[in-house]
Chain A
Amino acid sequence: DIQMTQSPSTLSASVGDEVTITCRASQSIGSWLAWYQQKPGKAPKLLIYKASSLASGVPSRFSGSRSGTDFSLTISSLQTDDFATYYCQQYSSFWRTFGQGTKVEIK
């Protein structure tokens, strides 16, 4: 199985900060990586697909990038609505896998 290692597990930041979350795949997955945002008690919401493509309706302050098997999600100017937990997920394999999640907290 492909393992996804996400870091950090928790991130404290202020409104207006730029924050970056990273995810490393245990083997090559091409660009078949998605990022999701989840708020307490809610279903996850797709933010980014194919490593760097913005999902419909997602603000442009969210962006994704890839370098080999390393992937990043960047929020350019953190807004109040962005405090949530973020997950990466690979879909290169028949057996999808998620990262462990990163909780973005208010500093």
Chain B
Amino acid sequence: EMQLMESGGGVVQWGGSLRLSCEASGFAVSTNYLSWIRQAPGVGLEWVSVIYSSGDTYYADSVKGRFTISRDISKNTVYLQMNSLRDEDAGVYFCARDPALFGMDAWGQGTTVTVSS
């Protein structure tokens, strides 16, 4: 069974940094696409970033230059390094398996990021 578990959320000061983790089980991150998606309180879903099996990465304009997605194949884990955090970065962050043809077919439970000013 495919499972994803996010961790690393918490309270961070405006302008600060945080690293989120997404540990996968039941499949290998090395041969799959993984995306991060976020949801501000009471708002819809916003795609944040994806890492392809090739290692190529893509970002939403709203986070480009501030966030970095990476992976550790030995730990079967994907990371999201978030720097220069702003109020609008607060919310629940989900990771999802994102196979190219089939939509996002497995999601974690989410981890919450709060930005305090």
Residues of the B chain whose Cβ atoms lie less than 8 Å from the Cβ of A98: 37, 44-47
Interface check B88, CB cutoff 8 A: no
CA distance A45 to B108 in the complex (A): 10
Contact call B104/A87, Cβ cutoff below 8 A: no
Bound CA span A96–B37, Å: 10
Partner among A43, A87, A95 whose Cβ is within 8 Å of the Cβ of B44: A87
CA distance A89 to B98 in the complex (A): 12
B61 partner residues in chain A, CB cutoff 8 A: 1
* List of A residues within 8 angstroms of B107 by Cβ: 43-45
CA of A5 to CA of B96, assembled, Å: 22
Type the 1/0 row for A27-61, where 1 means its CB is closer than 8 Å to any CB of B.
00000001010100011111011100101000000
Task: List chain A positions with a Cβ less than 8 A from chain B.
Answer: 1, 34, 36, 38, 42-46, 48-50, 53, 55, 85, 87, 89, 91, 94-101
